[in-house]
Amino acid sequence: MKVERLTPILNISNIAESFAWFEKLGWQKGWDWGDPPTFGGVCNGECEIFLCQNCQGSRGGPMPQHPGDDDTGGVWMTWWLASPAEVDAAHQLALEHGLMVTWPPTDEPWGVREFHLRHPDGHTFRVSASLEEE
């Protein structure tokens, strides 16, 4: 088997609000489907995430109760950026838009700088970059 593309699907509660949330971080609405729309995609470069309103998967639980947001459920995924400086810039952008950061930018012992960003429906994104120089 050779996988040529991978597209995660997130269960979200409101597709219009999710499009707007992703757009604050530099993603663009790629498409939507339905009248009114209940399915769609957001794009950033070659990356795409499908959004499915009230179906396909589950959402997270209660608001984070401890650093790292480990017990909330929802999907966890890593967004890989080009450099640690871009991680810091993305963190600043998230704060400027009042988005929920559950872990500050940290140089981790496994060789990445990352912060954790939580979508309103409980999905957590590890915004990361390698600490190794290219």
Tell me which residue range forms the domain holding 104: 69-134
Residue 122 domain flag? yes
Co-location of 103 and 132 in the same domain: yes
Residue 42 domain flag? yes
Contact 63, 124 (CB under 8 A): no
CATH number of the domain to which 110 belongs = 3.10.180.10
Element of type H or E holding 100? strand 100-107
Nearest to 118 by CA among 57, 46, 37, 59: 59
**What are 9-63's pLDDT values in tens digits?**
999 999 999 999 999 999 999 999 999 999 999 999 999 999 999 988 888 765 5
Co-location of 50 and 109 in the same domain: no
Co-location of 84 and 134 in the same domain: yes
CB atoms within 10 A of CB 2: 3
Residue 129 domain flag? yes
Contact 62, 121 (CB under 8 A): no
CA atoms within 13 Å, Cβ hemisphere of 76:
12
Domains in the chain, number:
2
User: Is pTM, for the whole model, over 0.85?
Assistant: yes
